[in-house]
Amino acid sequence: MARLGRETNTKHRIFSYLCAATVLSLLLVLYFGPDGRTSSTGIPVNAREILLQCDEIQALPGPLPGFSERKFSDRFVPGTKDVWIRNATIWTGRVDGLETIHGDLLLSGGLIKHIGPVTTANIEASENFEEIDVRGAWITPGIVDVHSHMGVESSPMLSGAVDGNSIQGTIRAWLRSLDGLNTHDESFHLAVSGGLTTSLILPGSANAIGGQAYAIKLRPTLERSPTAMLLEPPLDISGTASDYVGWKHMKHACGENPARVYGDTRMDSVWAWRDAYNTARKLKEKQDSYCASVRQSRWDNLSGAFPQDLQWQPLVDILRGKVKVQTHCYEAVDFDNFVRLSNEFKFPVAAFHHAHEAYLVPDVLKHAYGPTPAVAIFAAFSGYKREAYHSTSFAARLLDDEGIRSDHPAITSRFLLYEAQQVHHFGLPGHKALSSVTSTAAAVLGLNHRIGFIKLGYDADVVVWDRYPLALGATPQQVFIDGIPQLVDTNPRSGSLSQQPPKVPNYDLEAYDALKREGEPTLDTVSTITGRTIFTNVSNVWTRNNAGVSNIYNKFPCVIVEGGHIIEGATHEDCVSLATQSVDAVVDLNGGSIAPAIVAAGTSIGLQEIAGEVSTIDGVVFEPSDTDAPRAVLGTIPRAVDGLMYATRDAVLSYRAGVTTAVSAPSSSVGEYGLSASISTGVQHKLVQGAVVQADTAIYISLQHGTTPSISTRIASLRRLILGRTKGEAGSWFGMIALGLVRLVVRVDSADIIATLIDLKREVEAHTGAEMKLTVLGAAEAHILADELAAASVGVLVQPRSFPYAWDSRRILPGPPLSEMGQAAYLWSKNVTVGLIPQGIDDSTPSMTGWAARNLRWDAGWVASQSNLSMEDALALVSTNVDALLGVIVKPADADLVATSGGDLLSFEGKVVAVISPRRSLVDLF
């Protein structure tokens, strides 16, 4: 047990207790010791263990003295070569994230051994090293994710490895995420390829207390076990404390999630906490009074053994300050409850996760017991349930103004840095945005003595980037974890890419407004100009043409808009003279540009408000194969145009981000089914001019494995429908697919099902002689059939960043640095017509993707930034191609345009300031 002693002075303390006990015992007669056995001196034979136990329960976590002088990391893998990284631009994370060093790094023994100039002497000390010249590339500490379910909610998702949530009860403090960690999760290596090196693996949020969380390093280990991935495990796992005493982490959850699972209310959840913490408090008091007797050598005063309880000790550890309390909490009421709990039982809160309303109640957070909790928030993911309704993209910068740290757990952790880039765009200073996913995150985990910084003696977890890390598309060229390079065969591309920070827009007024409106977006602040608007200092004007998108800048040195139409052929002189005459608005774009408006496909925008609230959505439609469909709907086909809802949160936020139309189809239990409609995102209701752009654009069906009836049944039924063997309204609509009069859009990911669809298309065409129009949406595995899709003229709508959410989508093309091209760019290079759909939280649920539509501008920029796509091509990915692939017919002259100031629509520099709508004969100014 001596190995459990924490510090040298602890050992001294124990020694002196033992001495005191010996002295006192001489004065005592025999008594029964704690375990019923006594020695002849009257001291229990296990007195030493009891004393150590009393000591151990109070030992606080953290590095032991001498930690910073360690020569090797406890995670060092013998045989790992030293690495000399030459000529780097090193963002260290130190000095509040403001320090940048130009020079070299030496990684050795799993640690950072030298920073700055590395001398020959430094190198000579190393026998076996590799030298890498990174030619000035940016280097940061490895990215740290404070909120991850990797391994416990694995990808692809299979029912045999869903270990994130126990549903055995609301208090589960004794459970451990480590016990459910699936080492086959595809996310590990994908996350590493995005620069992630450490993640905190939390149980899910179905319980008021979900269990213990563990920090892990994401590299593969020789042992291939979950335990070998642990970073600074707590004593109850490691059994030893040579360098450190590891922190424990405890997952708590407020609000909807735990309440829903158990049919509880918030009141029940709070009582469950108080009851549990009260049990823990009583146990702690017993232990303390027991140890007080021990310390005073009142062995006579002990009744029985040291008070222990395996179930409740984890909560006692919280009361003893040995645990980082990690709490999933969204709303004001929930923060208030948890802060009250922390004061009632006197324990600090490490971080509130999700924390959508934290920006509204900073004072509540400051009242928490101990230091102010950090918050770990998303950049954009919001609105999907009531708790997330009052969120804003300005939360990070608003919280920063209040002096609270912000962390940003991502939904696909590989792209956590993208979250940091977005909050930077919305106003969080760059050094803080970078800190939020490195040094601040490390502090939240109690690991900032070894990760999250580039500092001498820290773990050799570093990322070499291909461009400035907050620049759009930044991708690792190499990732080191414990000094071990994680990427093989990567092509360094830093030479031509931007190594400069993006110049982000000013959003002071918008942030203030968001706070005032408590995150509820509105169209009320938009000013509509039906007369004449002049846009000055315009760098580019891209517009739609019949084939795609082209740059018409040369024709328009400045841009005059009348009644929503660009006046063709206006000269600079026209602009100057008009600007002094009757003009309704002059908009200085400050070097920005005008570009085609973006189209959101594959979402439920226009058919729902809050995905998680049935009273706010159009509802779920029946499919032809549903056996429980009421007779009345048999033979009909649902039309999105009949269920439209306007001015919803996602619609308004999308509009303000340059997404002026959405093409949505009714939701079915497996995706979509029915006729889609193209609608305007920027109007108050359906009867406004231009509210419905086009009804009945295409027929949607969804084909995913794991649903009933089987894929084979569904294909048989589809064949029958298309070949016109079914009567009724549905039959005639499907019959038009066979004649090439209506497009069929299929939500599908599996290459096998896509192949069957291509086959079916041939069969139908052989039958009718007409060309069947087919689009596959989602299409995660479509690249496997790139040539076949191109040959069959089948277009695809894909997510910008592929991820193997399900078995159907497991064979992804991961994109740089794991493959030369990402899926969209690859399909493009193969002459397949490609469009982008928003990156939701999975790839098959339209109701969970509407929030992401407003990121389409950067998603297209991202795809272009990682490939050779031109600006015109990239714009087509989110405008003309999407409409074409969904059967939306728009005359180029009628199509909406978006004006951005400071930069173009697809960049972090640009700010959307106006929508130019010929269709609606107006300009909307934001």
Ligand X SMILES: *[C@@H]1O[C@H](CO)[C@@H](O)[C@H](O)[C@H]1NC(C)=O
Q: Residue numbers of the site for ligand X (CB under 6 A)?
A: 87, 135-136, 289, 292-293, 296, 298, 301, 537, 590-591, 820-821, 830-831, 867-868
Task: Provide DSSP, 477-508.
Answer: EEEEETTEE---S----GGGS--SPP-PPP-H
Q: Which is nearer to ligand X, 291 or 895 (CB)?
A: 291
CB nearer to ligand X: pick between 23 and 292: 292
As given in the structure block, the two tokens for residue 540 are: 């580019």
User: Which lies closer to ligand X via its Cβ, residue 87 or residue 506?
Assistant: 87
Residue 53 tokens read as 């136990």
**Torsional sign, CA 275, 278, 282, 287:** positive
Q: In this structure, are residues 109 and 76 in contact, taking their beta carbons and an 8 Å threshold?
A: yes
State the Cα–Cα distance between residues 366 and 374, nearest whole angstrom: 10
Give dist(CA 815, CA 745) in Å, integer: 25
Tell me the closest approach of the beta carbon of residue 547 to ligand X, in angstroms. Answer: 12
Query: CB of 426: closest distance to ligand X in angstroms?
Result: 20
CA-CA distance, 414 to 411, in Å (whole number)?
Answer: 9
What stretch of H or E contains 862? Answer: helix 856-865
Kindly tell me which of 35 and 696 has the beta carbon lying closer to ligand X. Answer: 35
Q: Shortest distance, CB of residue 155 to ligand X, whole angstroms?
A: 25
Phi, psi angle pair for 785, to nearest 5°: -115, 25
Phi, psi of 412, deg, nearest 5: -110, 105
Shortest distance (Å) from residue 388 CB to ligand X: 36
Closest CA to 703 of 690, 716, 693: 716
- Which is closer to ligand X, CB of 40 or CB of 491? 491
CB of residue 867 to ligand X, shortest distance in Å: 5
Residue 589, helix vs strand vs coil: coil
Contact between residue 380 and residue 851 where contact means Cβ atoms under 8 Å apart: yes
Distance CA 646, CA 688 (A): 10
Q: Cβ-closest residue to ligand X?
A: 591
Supply the minimum distance, in Å, between the C-beta of residue 786 and ligand X.
Answer: 9
CB of 192 to ligand X, least distance (A): 21
Residue 739 sits at the vertex; the CA angle it makes with 736 and 744, to the nearest 5 degrees, is 60
C-beta closer to ligand X: residue 400 or 909: 909
407, two tokens: 């962390």
Q: Which two tokens stand for residue 503?
A: 């110049």
For ligand X, give the closer residue by CB, 88 or 852.
Answer: 88
Q: Give Cβ neighbours of residue 27 (< 8 Å, ≥ 6 apart).
A: none
**Closer residue to ligand X (CB): 713 or 831:** 831
Q: How far is the CB of 492 from ligand X (least distance, A)?
A: 11
Pairing of strands 527-529, 209-217: unpaired
Q: Is 222 helix (H, G, I), strand (E, B) or coil?
A: coil
Tokens read off for 636: 């009909």
Residue 394 CB, nearest distance to ligand X (Å)?
Answer: 23
Cβ neighbours of residue 218 closer than 8 Å, sequence gap 6 or more = 150, 188, 189, 191, 192, 196, 197, 198, 199, 229, 481
State the nearest-atom distance from the C-beta of 131 to ligand X, in Å: 12
d(CA 618, CA 614): 8
Short-list 316, 253, 246, CA closest to 280: 316
Looking at the Cβ atoms of 530 and 868, the one nearer to ligand X is 868
Tell me whether residue 502 is exposed, middle or buried, using C-beta atoms within 10 angstroms of its C-beta: 0 to 12, 13 to 18, 19 or more: buried
Which residue in 211, 499, 253 sits closest to 355, CA to CA?
A: 253
Q: Is 454 helix (H, G, I), strand (E, B) or coil?
A: coil
- Give Cβ neighbours of residue 500 (< 8 Å, ≥ 6 apart): 468, 471
> Would you say 62 or 591 has its CB closer to ligand X?
591
Closer to ligand X by CB, 89 or 704: give it.
89
**In this complex, which beta carbon is closest to ligand X, that of residue 109 or of residue 903?**
903
To the nearest whole angstrom, how small is the minimum distance from the Cβ of residue 115 to ligand X?
15
Between 293 and 528, CB nearer to ligand X: 293
State the minimum distance, in angstroms, from the CB of residue 591 to ligand X.
Answer: 3
Rounded to a whole number of angstroms, the minimum distance from the CB of residue 790 to ligand X is: 6
**CA-CA distance, 778 to 774, in Å (whole number)?**
13
Please identify, using beta-carbon distances, which residue of 293 and 311 lies nearer to ligand X. 293
Q: Least distance in Å: CB of 722 to ligand X?
A: 28
